[in-house]
Amino acid sequence: MPDHFTFAGYRDVPDEAGGAAARAWWDAEAPEYLAEHGAFLGDADFVWGPEGLREEDAHLLGDVVGRDVLEVGAGSAQCSRWLVAAGARALATDVSHGMLAQGDRLDRATGVRVPLVQADARALPFADASFDAVFTAFGAIPFLPDATRVHREAARVLRPGGRWVFSVTHPLRWAFPDDPTEHGLTATRSYFDRRPYVETTDDGRVLYAEYHRTVGDHVRDVVAAGLVLDDVVEPEWPADNANVWGGWGPVRGAYLPGTAVFVTHRP
């Protein structure tokens, strides 16, 4: 019998349990997640979020040709596959073996091979100063109570001048119901309520946890890791994007930002 949650909502849980929940959750959900979102993500494409902002157009990682680029929380490594095709030496990591297994399947389907390494973004198995850029598109950070560790690891493995770029759900979204219709346009929670969204079993086991940080929290986290913040990109919803992804879609996209991309570098 698969585990089933009996509570879903905003509630504090022990940090260790919250941070550990992602691995089993993504292992179990990987096939369904790819079936639902794989076409939008593309097998070898690099989108920063549901708005469809592409690295090909945004160039947030800078020049990648011939560069060593690390993806953390890579899921099935679609972004890294695009980077390899674009001439980068990309390497993809994720804590979930299930997501990486889907990545291996996509490698074989596309013929574009990306080295895949199972690793928690809080403890990367790489030497200091070994990458020119590190990034994640919605990986790792939202699922961790201690995301500062990810920022510190990104700073550690980056060469001086290298960029650390990460996208997350736009913090403003946390004040609104996760509903892509007009019902998602009225704020019902405090933007300042940092309790995570969790799903737990009867006996209190944490099956899923997602953490909210305000814009200021994210800024303080990257600065504390010794990084310099260069930009916060807030993609607008394009008129030709009819795709609905969870609470994201054109109805709310017309009024509210859905994604924030933080662009930082190691001095």
Task: State in angstroms the smallest separation of the CB of 144 from ligand SAM.
Answer: 5
Task: State in angstroms the smallest separation of the CB of 106 from ligand SAM.
Answer: 11
Using the minimum distance from each CB to ligand SAM, give the nearer residue, 121 or 207: 121
Assign 3-class secondary structure to the chain. CCCCCCEEEECCCCHHHHHHHHHHHHHHHHHHHHHHHHHHHCCCCCECCCCCCEHHHHCCCCCCCCCEEEECCCCCCHHHHHHHHCCCEEEEEECCHHHHHHHHHHHHHHCCCCCEEECCCCCCCCCCCCEEEEEEECCCHHHCCCCHHHHHHHHHHEEEEEEEEEEEECHHHHHCCCCCCHHHHCCCCCCCCCCCEEEECCCCCEEEEECCCCHHHHHHHHHHCCCEEEEEECCCCCCCCCCCECCECHHHHCCCCCEEEEEEECC
Task: State in angstroms the smallest separation of the CB of 75 from ligand SAM.
Answer: 3
Q: Which residue is nearest to ligand SAM (CB)?
A: 75
Task: Look at residue 200 and give its three-state secondary structure.
Answer: strand
Using the minimum distance from each CB to ligand SAM, give the nearer residue, 46 or 176: 46
* Interacting residue ranges for ligand SAM, rule: CB under 6 A: 22, 26, 41, 72-75, 94-96, 99, 120-122, 137-140, 143-144
Task: State in angstroms the smallest separation of the CB of 167 from ligand SAM.
Answer: 8
Using the minimum distance from each CB to ligand SAM, give the nearer residue, 126 or 185: 126
Using the minimum distance from each CB to ligand SAM, give the nearer residue, 70 or 95: 95
Task: State in angstroms the smallest separation of the CB of 66 from ligand SAM.
Answer: 23
Task: Look at residue 255 and give its three-state secondary structure.
Answer: coil
Task: Look at residue 185 and give its three-state secondary structure.
Answer: helix
Task: State in angstroms the smallest separation of the CB of 217 from ligand SAM.
Answer: 18
Using the minimum distance from each CB to ligand SAM, give the nearer residue, 95 or 227: 95
Using the minimum distance from each CB to ligand SAM, give the nearer residue, 14 or 161: 14
